[in-house]
Structure 1
Amino acid sequence: MRIIHKLLGTLILLIDWLTAPKGIKRPEEVQAVINEQTKAITLYQYKACPFCVKVRRSMKRQSLSIETRDAKRCEMAKIELLKGGGKLKVPCLKVVNDTGSEKWMYESKDIIGYLEQRFSEAA
């Protein structure tokens, strides 16, 4: 079973690499504002998780430079995810607002919807 998971993970990553979307082009000053806003956002993920790939592809299409943390290979990321989000489930988007409070968002569809709504208005 482990071999099948390894093969599927490799296949997912290969297809993702071969079909990588292009990011949108924005004026430099608009992109700089968005880059500053994305510093308060972190995506907890597993590299070959199909739902995580889906979120990362959406981030790339929107030209969002959001930090990613691999909760499978990095023990510190796993601890942060469990402590902050409450469960070891990916993808999980951590958003820190202006007051410093954190929002932890699971489900790829919800994460993509949030990012599209928040950053399409900034463009």
Structure 2
Amino acid sequence: MPEYEKAVRPEDLTRLFVERSNAGDAAGVAALYEEHAVMAYPPGGQTVGREAIRALWERVLVNRPRFEPEQPLPTLLSGDIALTSTPPRDGAGARAQVVRRQPDGTWLRVLDQPEFIPSTR
């Protein structure tokens, strides 16, 4: 596995996600997650584990989607756990991640809600 830049702050994960996604690097995206992370994607489902997340991103990135950096909302921090989030450019819904400080002081995603659109009912 290549040596990837690590997130030294929780907010770094969003930047690294955009850079690696736009480079088509599914393994690099998966390296941003803990081994047993859970991602609320595809819509209505879940993808569990770093290897499954890598396989999911391989399928998504084959279409070469373009991700734009989004200004993060303030990070909520409690010890070794943090909540990071960004508002989508269209203003609908939100994106949020629970991240955990690793033994080496870097951060990885544990839970990822890449898109949440409130019900209109």
Shorter-chain TM-score category?
under 0.3
Larger radius of gyration: 1
Higher helix share: 1
Q: TM-score, normalised by structure 2?
A: 0.26
